[in-house]
A and B are shown apart, each in its own frame.
Chain A
Amino acid sequence: MYDLIVVGGGPAGLAAACSAWDSGLRSILIVERDRQLGGILNQCIHNGFGLTYFKEELTGPEYAHRFVELLGKTGVEVRTDTMVLDVTADRRVHMTGPKTGYRVEEARSVILAMGCRERTRGAIGTPGTRPAGVLTAGAAQRYVNVEGYLPGKRVVILGSGDIGLIMARRMTLEGARVLACVEVMPYSGGLTRNIVQCLEDYGIPLYLSHTVTDIRGRDRVEEVTVCRVDERRRPVPGTEMVFACDTLLLSVGLIPENELTTRAGIEIDPRTKGAAVFENMETSLPGVFVCGNVAHVHDLVDFVTQESQRAGAAAAKFVREGEAAGESLALRSGNAVSYTVPQRIRPQNVDKSANVFFRVNRICGNSQIAVTAGGRRLAAFKRDRLAPGEMEHISIPKKLLEGVTGEITISIEEVRE
């Protein structure tokens, strides 16, 4: 019987395991399906990781390495090349791997940190033929950065998520010609800094409010058609542009990988597509926690680390003290807020302050983030600018939550200038 089993050895699982160890647990197992720890960071060779957490600029593999080193100083047990098949409600973890065979391990607490995967062509239903050369940006990233293959020479990128932008630069540096980055929304889904240093630096045009309406080619992609879309995201006839290319990269969103979570009977929030969680990242199943991209898709690994450390500490507390007590408050998404994590807060179980992550559903200028309950304003936070591509974070002091019952609403109030 382990105190804690962590499913997934990426940035979330690593930080959670280290934090649980620091919080006093001594029998911890990380199960990772890849051959190495580090998860997706190993193929994210660009820099910009760690500025918040380490106060320095690291590449993905370096960021992962920092935590692998920390983990090496603990007694946490690691099983790589091992796939978790099932997590049951009584916290039995079924796994299989070439060295150990099929095993069932029991745990007093479980942290699910499986990360997310990319949406594919099937998920967005792009018309056209089905030639080779249509792949997700993350698959291309693995080919280029790890396997050493350049998957195309003339490239169009659909979607302006960060991985798409990063791959626009990467493919250009490796000798491919990136003809366009096409985004269906009127704003980019990626960080502004990536628009600047990945597209503008290399003169790659970004077509906002445009999408791919056709893919042509028999064996290999030969051309794609790009069209402007109206406010309801429907293609506008007569605005077609045809790009002769051999590759279409898709950067059209990420989906938390929650097969295990769902099978365990844990409640999923349809907005985040991750488990609905309490303030300590605990799911609807007591003793089972989630953190990182499996809970909700993050833009910055630094926030994954912070969230996962909270989950790790919370798992240790659960093993020590049992189930958390107290009433819970529901967090409601008000004006311009698309979701919050956590979805529920138990004020009694909040340490000093409750951390809330959320995203807005449109670009907002000079704004106040208002926290209200029963018509009463608990707190307000100023922001110069809010964008859907950049996750927001507020911290609500515990004392403000005292005496509040029912629900709390987070909403955006734009300041008229």
Chain B
Amino acid sequence: MRELVCIVCPRGCHMKVDDELNVTGNFCPRGAEYARAELTHPTRVVTSTVRLEGGEYRRCPVKTSAPIPRELIPRLMETLSSVTARAPVRVGQVLIPNVLDTGADILVTREIDEA
């Protein structure tokens, strides 16, 4: 039996998972899904920033379009540090498709105009 707190939403359900991966204490099905994934193969959506040239600001915020394996986060951060975006950037714009072969894209999350 493992106890864990759901991080899918800010509600933060306190859940219990038994050895057969049966989940209790979850408010919604996403919680059960998260609990099973967390015990077998944890994943996270990663948010960060990349360098931005020619914009009103020097950093462009980005995110992965889907959760990626948690152990890939350090490699993802290295990849992001080698990327430079150019203003203008738009919300949802793909900066890196299929990053690290995860199937997830790196997306822009803020509108930044040219300076």
Contact = CB atoms under 8 A, between A and B. Distances in A.
Interface of A: 35, 42, 45-48, 51-52, 57, 59, 61-62, 65, 68, 144-148, 173-174, 191-193, 195-197, 201, 299-300, 384-385, 390
Contact of A201 (B45, B70, B111): B70
Contacts of B10: 48, 51-52, 191, 193, 299-300, 390
A171 to B, nearest CB: 12
B72 interface: no
A48 B111 contact: no
A21 B15 CA distance: 42
A52 B104 CA distance: 24
A52 to B, nearest CB: 8
B49 A197 contact: no
A385 B44 CA distance: 26
A173 B48 contact: yes
Contact of A47 (B12, B63, B70, B110): B63
B14 A146 contact: no
Nearest to B58: A148
Interface string B2-13: 001111111010
B77 to A, nearest CB: 5
A145 B61 contact: yes
Contact of A191 (B12, B14, B70, B111): B12
How many chain B residues sit at the interface, stated as a range, is 20 to 34
B39 interface: no
A61 B77 CA distance: 20
B7 A196 contact: yes
Contacts of A57: 9, 45
A59 B70 contact: no
A45 B110 CA distance: 9
A61 B12 contact: no
6 closest residue pairs by CB, A with B: A61-B110, A192-B12, A45-B61, A193-B7, A148-B58, A51-B9
Contacts of A300: 10
Contacts of B4: 196
Interface of B: 4-10, 12, 14, 44-49, 51, 56-59, 61, 63, 70, 73, 77, 91, 109-111
A153 to B, nearest CB: 16
Contacts of B5: 192-193, 195-196
A270 B70 CA distance: 44
Contacts of B56: 35
B91 A62 contact: yes
Contact of A146 (B6, B44, B59): B59
B6 to A, nearest CB: 7
A148 B13 CA distance: 35
9 contacts: A45-B48, A47-B63, A57-B45, A59-B63, A61-B111, A62-B110, A65-B110, A192-B12, A299-B10
Q: Which of B48, B56, B110 is packed against the most chain A CB atoms within 10 Å? A: B110
Contacts of B57: 146-147
Contact of B51 (A42, A145, A148, A196): A148
Contacts of B7: 193, 196-197
Nearest to B59: A148
A42 B44 CA distance: 21
Contacts of B63: 45, 47, 59
B82 to A, nearest CB: 14
A385 B27 CA distance: 13
Nearest to A59: B109
A162 to B, nearest CB: 9
Given A45-B47, A47-B47, A193 B58 contact: no
Contacts of A390: 10, 12
Contacts of B44: 197, 201
A193 B61 contact: no
Given A45-B48, A191-B12, A192-B12, A145 B59 contact: yes
Contacts of A193: 5-10, 12
A206 B77 CA distance: 24
B59 A147 contact: yes
Given A61-B110, A193-B7, A46 B47 contact: yes
